[in-house]
Structures are given as C-alpha cells and as structure tokens.
Structure 1
Amino acid sequence: MSQRLIRIGENLNVVTKRYGEAMKNRDKKPLQELAMAEAEKGVDYIDLNIGPARKGGEELMEWVVKTVQEVVPNIPLALDTSNIAAMEAGLKVHKGKALINSIMARPERMDGMMPLVRKYDAYMIGLLWGPEGMPRDEHERGMLTAEILAKAAEYGIENEDIWFDPIIAPLNIQQQQLVSSLEFMKMLQDMAPGSKSTCGLSNSSNGVPDNLRPVINITFAVMLQRYGMYSAIVDAFDDKLKAMTSGEPNPTVDAIYKAMDGEAVDMDKLDQDGKNYIKTVRCIMGQTLFSDSWLEV
C-alpha cells in the first residue's frame, strides 16, 4: 500500500464570501471555527489563502496567522499569497515550520521568495509554472523541476524542503494533462531525490457538476498516490477522500490500480462508489470520452 496522503485543508480562502468578509472585518470567529473544524477532520496543514492582498497584505497575513494558530497551535499552516512582503509577515509570526504556497518556476518569483525559505526554515511548494505558463507535458515539467532545483541550490535549500506541484488541469478540458501529471510523478524521485510533492487536487474536477466532483478528486488522488504523491490540497471535509488515501489496505484502491494497468476488474464485486471510480480511471486514462454523463456509460 501507499503511504498516507498528507492533507492540506483548502477551505480557508479569501474568495469564499464568508471568510473573505471575516478577513476584511478582522472578525476572528468564522476563521477560528473553520480552523477548528478542519483540525477535527485530521488535516495535516491548513492553507491560508489571502489572495494577492496588494493593499495591507502584511498586516492581514500576520493577523490571519495569529488568529488561526490561537486555536490550532499544533497544526502548521500553508501560507498562500503572491505578495512577497505579506508572505514574510506571516512567516515571522508562524509557530513551527510553515509551508510557502507557492513559488513559481520564474526567476523573479524564485529570487523573491526563496530567501524566505532559508530565513524562516520553511518548506516551499515549487509550482511548475514557468515563463511560458503551464507546461505542456511531463518533459516540460521535468525541465521546470531542474530550474527550481538549480535555483534552490543557490540559496542552500535542500530537496527535502521542496514540495513539487505538477499543476493539475481539469479533466473535462485537458484530459491529457492529467496523464502527464501521472507520468511526471513516476520521474520525480529520479530527478529530485528526497523531495516531496503536492497538488491542488480539486483543479482536476473544475467545471464539472458539483455532485460529480468528489468522484474525480478521489479517483485521481488514489492514482497520483500510487506513483508517490506525498500530499494534496484538498477539501478537509471529504471523508471518503480521507479514507481512500489513508494508506490502509483497501480492495477498492486495488481495483483502481488494476484499472490503471488495463487489467479486467470484476465490477460486480464493487459498490456503487467503486464502480464510479473505475469508470473515472478509464476516463482519465483516455479509454472513454469525457462528458458529464461518464458515470452512466
């Protein structure tokens, strides 16, 4: 079996109206209630996404970090903003080893953010998004990985502190990109021994009806985990995802692996969720065409 997937709760995000307003009004209660609820679900990190925060970002990030760690002091945070000064403000007050989410494979972003990794002894997500945007395949992902590694070495950052994010695309419009991410995961430890990995899992199901999104998210998480995905930024409240990526023996996970290898799967031995996951594997692998009714085929 795979190791347990490290879960980074994605739910505390400025774009969510309730939490965006709480940040604007410096209202601790909604943020602390959510953080405690995520903690109860056993997340390993809580992602704090304050957006670009161009105006007042430093004060906001400091306040949010203190607000959350006031009630969940033992859960480290993934600090999420493109504002470098705001990122540093959060790192200054963070208790424990924070995760910088994220550093693009662009010179100005790497030179702006990587010094903070060393200064504050943080982990960093190396986002495989280069000067030309999203990589087209696993080979371009490999090239961007090499660029991040080279720059990290300049700043004395160890592989173990880098979590590579291959960038997950939506299944409904870029199916081949999901396969490319799987192929990249097979290569990562050869390119960057000891490094970690993560992804924004819910990107895989963007644009799909809400009731179908968890099926894609869970299936793809299991597929990525098979090839060594260390962590994922996920919905903290998806209990099925937590169970399926726990690393415990699971016949449904075994069936997903069989389907990935093109082997026959006895669908009669699976419950409805299991059947849905197998159909989704076949869709991700390009064996069936995607449509919003892929589970009905």
Structure 2
Amino acid sequence: MILFGESLNVISTVIGKAYKERDPKPIQEECLEQVKLGMDYIDINLGPAKKDGKELMPWVCQVVQEVVPDVPLLLDTSNIEAIEEGLKVLKPASKPHIVNSIMARPERYEVMLPMAAKYEADIVALMWGPDGLPRDENERAALCVELVYAANEAGIPNEKIWVDGIVTPVNIQQAQCMALLTFQMMLEDIAPGAMSTCGLSNISNGPPVHLRPIINTTYMIMLGRYGMKSVISDPLDTNLTDVAKGRRQDIVDVVYQAMDGEAPDPSSLSKELGDYVKTVKVITGETLFSDSYLEV
C-alpha cells in the first residue's frame, strides 16, 4: 500500500503557525520525519487558503523540496490558483506530483484538468458531485465515468488518475463504508489502469481516540483486498504503516478471514487479533457501532 502522509496540514497548530509566519523549520522537520516513518508522498494541505494561497503554496513547495527533493508531493487546497502557483515551482521528483483533489463538478474540473495536464501532474479524482456525497456505489460509478472521461479528454490517461470514492465515518454511515468497498471492486472495470486513494482517517472521525487506529487499519486492509492502491494516512500510526508495508501479515490474514465469515471466535485469539475481527463486523454492519464495541 502506498502511503500519503497527511500531517503537513494547516489544521495542525505547529504547521499552521509555520505557514502563517513563513517559518520553514517546523515544515522541514515534519517532512523529514514523515519520510523516516515510511511515507511515500507528502500531502501539502493549505485548507481554503483564500487570502494568501497564491504566495503560500509555492513557498511551501520550495521549502519542502529543499529537504526531500525526491519525494513526490500532493498539492491540497480548494484555491485553484494556489495549486497552479505551486505546480509552477515544483521540481521533478521520483514520481509525478499530484493535484489533490479534483471534484466531479464541471465548474471545478473544467478548469483544473487542463491545468494538471499542462504541468504533467497526476490527479486525485474525488467522487464529490453536484449533489455532494454520492448515496451508493452506483452514484460513485456514474461520477467516476464522467470525471475520468473528462480527464482523458484533457490528455490525462487513466494511469495518472487516483480515484477517491470518499470515506465516511463508520459511527454514522456503516452502509456507506460498504458502498465504498463495492465501488472499489467495480473500479477496474470502470477505469482500467486507474489508481485509487482515500482519506482513510475519515472512517474513524467521531469515535473515541483509542478506537481510531484499529478502525483505520482494518478498513485499509479491507479496501486493499479490493484493489485500493494508496491511502492518506497518519505518519505517527506506525502499526498501520507496518501493516501497509507487509510487516504484519497476521493482522491481514485475520481480517480477510473475518471478511469471508471464517474467522475464529475472537475469544480464541489474542486480544489484538480478536479486536480486528470485531472491527470487521462493525464495518460490514454485522454489528452496530458503539463506542464500547471492543468490550462486548
């Protein structure tokens, strides 16, 4: 699994302050730490960046590339002009840089797709349409066909497209978690050769902090089984990174068994592996979510 580090984010107190004050040190330290912790790409998230995005994005890009010049970057802001200013200054890395994200809305993609093609950037195709979040896998598929076709017309081949079907919180919309899994299984037929990604931590947005790592890791394994190529992840979650990089096959195996309905009774497993079985059942809707589901 390819990992996009999510921590260079304006919502971080330290990074947000560094952005505002144009202080390169915390930004560069964060980038070096992300690479050390196994991140394959670094996501530069400026948020809306309405006031100074055009100046801030190229500055951050240059600051980052001073210390990790070979690491590909994702440029993440709703300010389209800021993204283009960043693309102008980026130097080639080990893999193409990525524009994150292009919504399935004509007023957005008609501007952003030609821009990405001009700078030979990959794109994240976000399945957020005119009506917002798609209701199920079929609406995701329809948006995907529209956006991938538009990207191809703009000169962007499927191999440079990372489809994001949108992850939703498990404590609110268990059915949506399964809809994304179903859509992920459909993706190769819809867009042969396309890559895929997601904002993984959204699935645990709301549950107690102690549950977030196991929910995130379990869902990553489930998505990966159906072809997910990458996730935007927390660099500090070293267990998730170990799983993503193939160092915890025991966890992967028990999640697969639970998905197939063949997992041993959790009481016969170690507490760690038993908790993964319980988490699969919550994500699939076999068990209703509660903050205490691991204690049942």
Question: Partner of 1:74 in structure 2?
Answer: 70
1:53 partner letter:
A
Bigger relative contact order, structure 1 or 2, given CA contacts below 8 A and separation 6+?
Answer: 1
Does the 8 A contact of 2:254 with 2:263 survive in 1?
A: no
Q: Is the 8 A contact 2:263 2:277 kept in 1?
A: no
Partner of residue 51 from structure 2, selected from 50, 55, 63: 55
User: 1: CA distance between counterparts of 2:30 and 2:200?
Assistant: 20
Distance 1:118 1:279 in 2: 44
Corresponding position of 1:125: 124
Q: Counterparts of 1:1-297 in structure 2 under 5 Å?
A: 5-96=1-92, 97-247=96-246, 250-267=249-266, 270-297=269-296
What letter corresponds to residue 90 of structure 2 in structure 1?
Answer: H
Distance 2:125 2:12 in 1: 25
Residue by residue over 1:121-141, the C-alpha shift from the partner in whole angstroms, topping out at 9 and shown as x without a partner, is 101000000000000000000
TM-score normalised by length of structure 1? 0.96
Moved beyond 4 Å, runs of 4+: none
Aligned partners of 1:36 and 1:71 also within 8 Å: yes
Q: Is the 8 A contact 2:242 2:248 kept in 1?
A: no
Rounded Cα–Cα distance in structure 1 between residues aligned with 2:37 and 2:91: 21
Deviations 1:93-125 (A, max 9, x none): 112221111000000110111012211110100
| Contact persistence 1:282–1:288 (CA under 8 A) | yes
Q: In the aligned structure 2, how far is the partner of 1:249 from the partner of 1:52? A: 37
Structure 2 counterpart SS, 1:217: helix
**What is the CA distance between 1:265 and its match in structure 2?**
1.9
For residue 9 of structure 1, report the CA deviation from its aligned partner.
Answer: 0.3
Contact in 1 for aligned 2:140/2:165 (Cα 8 Å): yes
> TM-score by structure 2 length?
0.96
RMSD: 1.2
Unaligned runs of 5+ in 1: none
How far residue 247 of structure 1 moved from its aligned partner, in angstroms, is: 3.5
Partners of 1:276 and 1:259 lie apart in 2 by 11
Distance 1:60 1:43 in 2: 23
CA distance in 1, matches of 2:134, 2:236: 31
Q: Secondary structure at the match of 1:49?
A: strand
Letter of the 1:192 partner, please give it. A
